Amino acid sequence: MAPSHSAQKALRILESAPAVCNLILLEGVAQKPVGDVILCDVAREDASVIVSDLKELGIPEEGSIAMEDIDSQISDAADRAEIAAKGAPSDAVVWEEVEAHTSENTEFSASFVIFVVLACLIASVGILLDSPILIIGAMVVGPEFGPIAGLCVALVQRRPELARRSLLPLAVGFPLGIAITLGFVVLVKETGIVPDGFSVTEHPNTQFISHPDAFSFIVATFAGAAGMLSLTNAKSGAIVGVLISVTTIPAAANIAVAVAHGDGGEAGGAALQLGVNFGAIMLAGVVTLFVQRKLYQRRRRKHLGDASREAGGLPVGRSLRSKSNRQAEGTR
């Protein structure tokens, strides 16, 4: 949606772009802001480069750009648009979509803290009962991957504000979760309902939580890469597998359990496990995003020479956007 003067430029760009089909112009129907509405379908592979052209026209400042996925479409024109946009739709990254998802998942809220606390409490019971099932349940409940993913995006795109917003939920949620879990374990201990024979150092089925090794780093690295690919490719189903693969929440809970039982060594091992997992997920996430971003930047630079830009009054071979935005997109 945009004022008529911008909408006409956008229309010419979209008409000339081979990855665009089913183009519709509704003149003068927009009331707030006043202007035209354009509807079109864009092959996922070229979605971000087309949106970048529309941003150069200043449409977000004067109007808006809304995006949604199409579940299914029967159209020869759509098939031709997908063929024109080189690459596989399943591998395409719509960066505006990634930014929207990470912005939603990095908000510091009461619900995030509650989920962290509940996950830690469930994990603490799993440790006390030496129950892997409860540990897995705690991993699924834990909401920490969202802020971690947001932090990876912030580092790759050099967005300090997003980095701060991503760190805040983690910096507050985990210490609070550990503190409340510590109080819960102390209460359980004082009331005498700790399972008979429980030893803070001897719980074989969940021993891995506080004894990091090379495989702890390897698994967390694989999980971090898989999680980031799931985020960028909108394959949300794989996120559950990622959450089950790493022991961030259980490690935090084990710190509380060990402290409540006065075992500093066990608490230190759990803290090390927590650090190893965070570090490995961050490393894998940043590397995965960096490679995907470089591939997009190469595609964007190639698109700058496309004739569709000239049709909309944009310069061919260079971007009109600010220096900071050009650096983010890899344009010159």
- HEC string of the chain equals CECHHHHHHHHHHHHHCCCEEEEEEEEEEEECCEEEEEEEEECHHHHHHHHHHHHHCCHHHHCCCCCCCCCCCCCHHHHHHHHHCCCCHHHCCCHHHHHHHHHHHCCCCHHHHHHHHHHHHHHHHHHHHCCHHHHHHHHHHCCCHHHHHHHHHHHHHCCHHHHHHHHHHHHHHHHHHHHHHHHHHHHHHHHCCCCCCCECCECHHHHHHHCCCHHHHHHHHHHHHHHHHHHHCCCCHHHHHHHHHCCHHHHHHHHHHHHHCCCHHHHHHHHHHHHHHHHHHHHHHHHHHHHHHHHHHHHHHHHCCCHHHHHCCCCCCCCCCCHHHHHHHCCC
Higher pLDDT, 122 or 211: 122
Do 174 and 276 fall within a single domain?
A: yes
- The pLDDT of residue 243: 59
- pLDDT tens digits for 240-292? 555 555 678 999 999 999 999 888 888 999 999 999 999 999 999 999 999 99
- The pLDDT of residue 173: 93
Q: Is the pLDDT of residue 229 over 80?
A: yes
Do 39 and 73 fall within a single domain?
A: yes
Q: Is the pLDDT of residue 317 over 80?
A: yes
Instruction: Specify the DSSP element, H or E, that contains 27.
Output: strand 20-31
> How far apart are the C-alpha atoms of 176 and 221, rounded to whole Å?
26
Do 67 and 190 fall within a single domain?
A: no
- The pLDDT of residue 205: 67
Higher pLDDT, 331 or 130: 130
In this prediction, residue 70 has a pLDDT band, given cuts at 50, 70 and 90, of: confident
Do 64 and 109 fall within a single domain?
A: no
- The pLDDT of residue 329: 46
Mean pLDDT of 166-191: 94
| Count of domains forming the chain | 2
DSSP state of 262: T
Q: Is the pLDDT of residue 327 over 70?
A: no
- pLDDT tens digits for 102-145? 777 777 889 999 999 999 999 999 999 888 899 888 988 888 88
- The pLDDT of residue 324: 40
Decide if 166 is inside a domain.
yes
Higher pLDDT, 218 or 88: 218
- The pLDDT of residue 239: 54
pTM here is: 0.81
Averaged pLDDT score across all residues of the chain: 86
Question: Which of 185, 212, 209, 202 has the alpha carbon at shortest distance from 135?
Answer: 209
Do 181 and 43 fall within a single domain?
A: no
Do 167 and 80 fall within a single domain?
A: no
Give the range among 65-74, 240-249, 288-297 with minimum mean pLDDT.
240-249
Q: Is the pLDDT of residue 165 over 70?
A: yes
Give the range among 21-35, 210-224, 236-250 with minimum mean pLDDT.
236-250
Pick the last residue of a domain from 89, 107, 127: 89
Do 137 and 59 fall within a single domain?
A: no
Mean pLDDT of 214-221: 89
Decide if 261 is inside a domain.
yes
Mean pLDDT of 143-169: 90
- Residue 176 belongs to domain spanning: 96-295
Do 102 and 226 fall within a single domain?
A: yes
Do 79 and 167 fall within a single domain?
A: no
- pLDDT tens digits for 33-60? 899 999 999 999 999 999 999 999 999 9
- The pLDDT of residue 251: 92
Q: Is the pLDDT of residue 235 over 80?
A: no
Do 69 and 132 fall within a single domain?
A: no
Mean pLDDT of 172-182: 96
Higher pLDDT, 305 or 101: 305
- The pLDDT of residue 72: 86
